[in-house]
Structure 1
């Protein structure tokens, strides 16, 4: 809720609100750290990472997205009203990151993934529980809408950009199982069909395994990455993700608020979603497509580490109080 009351009470709530955000974020960072520690200390980690990556990309994450797409369709695509503003902010970030990666000399495919890492926030693994915890359960639907947009459109645009030619790019995008999972879930939700209870529970169990496995895979990948010369590109992409993306969202949200097209809560959801660190699944996708670049994983690491500070501060600036 929004703050009020005496200054002392407000300061107490401000401190408590930032500590609450830190408390919500900390488990996600600890799982990444656990994966990193395992990667540093275990001899079997290099052999385990490809298998764990495949489990996440082909089983647990598609199950999560299938159920998410189904539920969103059954809710009447609630929260879709903020997508035009979100799309403008995201495409502005894609263009900026694409230009930065080009100046750094990246090949087309890693360049497309660099653009994706700057535009795709960690809404699935971190944003849904975090923003719903800050703004209430009603924030889940708008956050879910941004996830669908990023998986279906932002990811496809960046993969097409990185494909060399439009045909190659479309083939590359078609190989990504994640948009197909969301679209299949939406079709399922619109159809009204149900599943036997054991199958439904099996899908739910797979979906619940996604976040811890994906975050530990990210930590493993960071630990196993070969040493490479430091590049300013990762720092630039991190700044684009944590500064430019929420700034563009805030500007668009203020305009939509003035036009009466968006509620204050939807505007807050929009900004907080864009202020999340880079999505861990982009690193998994880069490894799967043999297009990994140190800038991608370092951007995830840098944006995740800095978000421990930037997210509570931004939530406080937006007037979010727990």
Structure 2
């Protein structure tokens, strides 16, 4: 228990340090954004490349794992969408933002360092099975729904959706890192020693830099308006989604480590991708920003509790 608490304090402590450095003015204006660009554009893609080029998928039961996790996503997405459209009276496009914010976990910037500290490399290997399909599926779902609700003729245009999806997919450095790692793994080759040292140097700093830059980014987003709706969506993300994931993991009989990773991954707060999706489609930016900030702050407590609950249930 002491090591678990220490890991949680370390991970969220780095986020807090980034936040404090930004709001206090210790970092120059724009420094947090530069750190974030380095983390997302360079260090994290290299870490994903290293992880997926070496990961052992044997025994991870990917179909059951994906079924449990994405079923929890689907239910949480529907809950968030209905809350925004029925309770807030917003249009369906804003409802998509509510659904994304309620179900899009921060698996990379926050998930990898946290699960590495709690479960070690085996936990990250299981998480990699989610990461390898998570972002593409979430992007595709959001694009399809936005295109459907924004269509003036009431028709869905598959070609436009495909072009939009592929453009966003291959412009994302995290996706490039994932694909490169899987391709390199398929070759069975070893990296040359110099290349391996470069990869290790960047991958080893990815976690701390990502967490610090995430905190600095939260300071830039801040909270302004839409607080109550953001709090409700945060409850869906931090309470309902991991509860759904736990039920599906238990019902599908996932192995203990896999089940715990599913629950903890579902309990993570929303990441910046929900805000970026809202920005790309020009609606719900304030709601997504506030929900990301509030859910990250609350996750210090809620994710810790879900780690304990998952450990008690799955051993």
CA displacement 1:118-175 (0-9 Å, x = unmatched)? 3232333443454455456533322221222312322332344345566254244443
Unaligned runs of 5+ in 2: 152-157
Q: Deviations over 1:70-104 (max 9, x none)?
A: 123x5458452411221211222223323334454
- Alignment match, 1:85: 68
- State the match for 2:258 in structure 1: 266
1:163-202 → structure 2 map (5 Å cutoff): 164=150, 167=160, 169-170=164-165, 171-202=167-198
The alpha carbon displacement at 1:194 in A equals 2.5
Whether 2:13 is the aligned partner of 1:22: answer no
**Aligned counterpart for 1:295 among listed residues 287, 290, 293:** 287
Partner Cα distance (1:117, 1:76) in 2: 32
Summarize deviations over 1:31-71 as a string: whole Å, max 9, x none: 22222222222286433244333222321121122222212
More displaced, 123-132 or 265-274?
Answer: 123-132
Please identify, of 86-95 and 234-243, the stretch whose mean Cα deviation from structure 2 is larger: 86-95
CA distance in 2 between counterparts of 1:127 and 1:147 reads 10
Change (3 A) 1:77 1:55: farther
For 2:44, the equivalent position in structure 1 comes to 61
Q: 20, 23, 29: which one pairs with 1:37?
A: 20
- Counterparts in 2 of 1:38 and 1:219: CA distance versus 1, 3 Å: same
Decide whether the 8 Å contact of 2:275 with 2:285 is kept in 1.
no
Instruction: Verify the 8 A CA contact 2:113 2:207 in the aligned structure 1.
Output: no
TM-score norm. by structure 1 comes to: 0.77
Give the drift of 1:239.
0.9
Aligned length: 298
Please say if residues 15 and 211 of structure 2, whose CA atoms lie closer than 8 Å, have aligned partners that are also in contact: yes
Equivalent position SS for 1:318 = helix
The two structures have a TM-score, normalised by structure 2, of: 0.79
Q: Once the 2 structures are TM-superposed, how far is the Cα of residue 28 of structure 1 from its aligned partner?
A: 2.0
Distance 1:130 1:50 in 2: 22
- Whether contact under 8 Å (2:242, 2:306) holds in the other structure is no
How far apart are the structure 2 equivalents of 1:183 and 1:77? 21
- RMSD of aligned alpha carbons: 3.2
Segments of 5+ residues of structure 1 without an aligned counterpart are 1-16
Could you tell me whether the CA contact under 8 Å between 1:21 and 1:130 is conserved in 2?
no
Tell me the equivalent position of 1:314. Answer: 306
Partner of 1:70: 53
Secondary structure in structure 2 of the residue aligned to 1:42: coil
Q: What are the residue-to-residue correspondences of 1:88-107 with 2, within 5 Å?
A: 88-102=71-85, 104=88, 105=90
SS at match of 2:127: helix
From 131, 145, 151, give the equivalent of 1:147. 131
Give the conservation status (yes or no) of the 8 Å contact 1:35–1:220. Answer: yes
